[in-house]
Amino acid sequence: MKVLRVKPWTIAAFVGPGLLLYVCLVFVPILVSVYNGMFDWNGIGASEWAGFANFHKMLFNDKVFWPAVNHTLQMAILSLVIQLPVALFVAILISRHVRRANFLVTSYFLPVILSVVVIGQLWKTILNPASQGGMINQILDKIGLHAWTHSWLTEPKYAMYSIILVGLWQYLGYHVLIQFTGIQNIPADIYEAARIDGADGFKADRYITVPMIVPIFKISVVLSFIGSLQSFDRILVMTAGGPAHATEVLASHMYYQSFLSLKYGYGSAIACFLVVFSLAATVVVNLVFNQLEKRYT
């Protein structure tokens, strides 16, 4: 059992500081949130013990909560099923056909380093109604598709999808980069061997690239899913959760309850739900990928 030939206290000394930080910055706040969630507190003044009333209200009595969960899931699942396959496709194309891929990959990556506020404002002007200078609507108008024009960000039916679209655009490059790197790490001799056996082009991708990239793909999936669950800034900049909660997600609902309605305790309860939800999602993703990895390796 003595795999590590170091004394336990040495391990403790090296692991300790990191662990301490991690515990302080991650676990303790979570526990504090759970604790705060048990209070009726406005975040400023005195608090009052409320037990599980906040959690009960959240699950059964809040008209905004479940729609917010729904919007959050929409965001997570749509970015998963649209963004990642496209990113993989782009990554495959780049690695196969582009000799010096760095420039292209960097270009795709550019939106990721831009501030979400900048991107939000940019897309707001793109998505605005034509009368306010919105680009998409003006183009639709010009090509005779006036019936298709909408006030994308303020019609409850479309607002959520518009915001999701912006997320897809912004983070595509991120996943292209991850998956491109993954593909680069697949040894070239495997492809050579496959070519001799007659597997070329997309056939090679189907039987070599996809199975071998599964572990990397998993990282993409987890990052994209958790990122979507926690997305907040984009919502705040573009619609502030409006019109009338049509684009409210869990994180923004939590924020508004805590700081605008001054229900800090209730906001903490939502935060707890978000933590549990994210953990559950991560576990599910891990289980699925463990199966996949077993099958392919």
CB closer to other proteins, 22 vs 52? 22
Strand partners, 48: 40
Tokens 């183009």 map to which residue? 139
* Tally of CB atoms within 10 A around 41: 23
Judged by CB under 8 A, does residue 18 bind other proteins?
Answer: no
- Find the binder of other proteins among 132, 184, 286, 290 (CB under 8 A): 132
CB closer to other proteins, 107 vs 132? 132
Tokens 């056909």 map to which residue? 97
Judged by CB under 8 A, does residue 260 bind other proteins?
Answer: yes
Judged by CB under 8 A, does residue 198 bind other proteins?
Answer: no
The rounded distance, in Å, linking the Cα atoms of 36 and 30 is: 10
Judged by CB under 8 A, does residue 67 bind other proteins?
Answer: no
Q: What residues between 148 and 187 interact with other proteins by CB under 8 A?
A: 151, 153-156
- Binding residues with other proteins: total (CB under 8 A): 45
The rounded distance, in Å, linking the Cα atoms of 278 and 227 is: 10
Run of H or E including 49? strand 47-49
The rounded distance, in Å, linking the Cα atoms of 153 and 241 is: 10
CB closer to other proteins, 23 vs 276? 23
The rounded distance, in Å, linking the Cα atoms of 48 and 42 is: 10
Judged by CB under 8 A, does residue 246 bind other proteins?
Answer: yes
Q: Rounded to the nearest whole angstrom, what is the least distance from the CB of residue 130 to other proteins in the complex? A: 8
Q: Which stretch binds other proteins (CB under 8 A): 111-119, 138-146, 191-199, 239-247?
A: 239-247
Tokens 């980069």 map to which residue? 177
Judged by CB under 8 A, does residue 45 bind other proteins?
Answer: yes
φ/ψ of 115, rounded to 5, equals -65, 140
CB closer to other proteins, 179 vs 257? 257
Judged by CB under 8 A, does residue 220 bind other proteins?
Answer: no
Q: Which two tokens stand for residue 282?
A: 């991560």
Judged by CB under 8 A, does residue 129 bind other proteins?
Answer: yes
Which residue, 105, 58, 73, 96, is CA-closest to 269? 58
Give every CB contact of residue 230 below 8 A, 6+ residues apart in sequence.
251, 274, 278
CB closer to other proteins, 9 vs 60? 9
- Side chain identity at 178, as an amino acid letter? I
* Contacts to other proteins by CB under 8 A: 1-2, 8-9, 11-12, 16, 19-20, 23-24, 28, 32, 42-46, 124, 128-129, 131-132, 134, 151, 153-156, 238-240, 242-246, 256, 258-264
